[in-house]
């Protein structure tokens, strides 16, 4: 499935990122040495351009590997703790899981472990866009959604087929609340078919269910 391939790609990306930083300085220092005067470097044998490129690459690597975990957490929706009845209902259908903030937060926590939290973030951003009525706000939010989740340059790019991307590019000529409807449906379906079954078998869900069951028995 498309989601499984993307998860594997992210795992390989993480592995590559962890191996890269040690080798990066040597690669850049050889190619850029002496290209500029050295004004801020530790020693005169390293050029400023070399240091700048190296720092940019290291920063990009850190953001790619940690962005979803570190930056996604503060954006969790506020919600009361789920009840045992709610958590049991999540197993009945994906729609019921996605219906409440508590369900979406638990699912996001699982997606974060699979490096695919951007799917939920994109879906939520589309839902937020649909609530807007101000034209200038709609255009700005649509632009941000495109840059964050559609652009191939973004580390949070979601997996969409070429047909849907073409639709989005046409819609972006005159953005509206429904610019990303086709893409949102495709990502929703992807999460339903690919990630949801694994979530139901995950330690995150089972531990939560067990904890609430034990509290229910004690009460």
pLDDT at 96 over 70: yes
pLDDT tens per residue, range 190-199? 999 999 999 9
- Express each pLDDT in 114-123 by its tens digit: 999 999 999 9
pLDDT over 90 (residue 5): no
pTM, full prediction: 0.67
Q: What percent of the chain is helix, strand and coil (3-state, nearest 5)?
A: 70, 0, 30
The per-residue pLDDT for 12 is 63
Domain map (residue ranges) of the chain: 84-218
Torsion, CA 90, CA 91, CA 96, CA 100, rounded to 10:
10
Confidence grade of residue 43 (pLDDT, cut at 50, 70, 90):
very low
User: What does the angle CA 88 – CA 193 – CA 11 come to, to the nearest 5 degrees?
Assistant: 105
Q: Name the CATH topology of 84-218.
A: Regulator of G-protein Signalling 4; domain 2 (1.10.167)
């Amino acid at each position: 499935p498309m989601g499984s391939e993307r998860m594997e790609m992210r795992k390989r990306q993480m592995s590559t990122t962890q191996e890269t930083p040690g080798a990066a300085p040597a690669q850049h220092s050889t190619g850029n040495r002496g290209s500029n005067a050295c004004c801020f470097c530790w020693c005169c044998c390293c050029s400023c351009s070399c240091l700048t490129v190296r720092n940019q690459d290291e920063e990009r690597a850190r953001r790619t590997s940690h962005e979803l975990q570190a930056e996604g957490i503060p954006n969790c929706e506020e919600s009361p703790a789920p009840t045992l009845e709610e958590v049991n209902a999540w197993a009945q259908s994906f729609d019921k899981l996605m219906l409440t903030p508590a369900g979406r937060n638990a699912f996001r926590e699982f997606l974060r472990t699979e490096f695919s939290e951007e799917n939920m973030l994109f879906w939520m951003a589309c839902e937020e866009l649909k609530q807007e009525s101000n034209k200038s706000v709609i255009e700005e939010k649509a632009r941000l959604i495109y840059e964050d989740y559609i652009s191939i340059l973004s580390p949070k790019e979601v997996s969409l087929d070429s047909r849907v991307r073409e639709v989005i590019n046409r819609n972006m000529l005159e953005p509206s609340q429904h610019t990303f409807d086709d893409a949102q449906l495709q990502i929703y379906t992807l999460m339903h078919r690919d990630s949801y079954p694994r979530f139901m078998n995950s330690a995150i869900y089972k531990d939560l269910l067990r904890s609430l069951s034990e509290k229910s028995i004690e009460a």
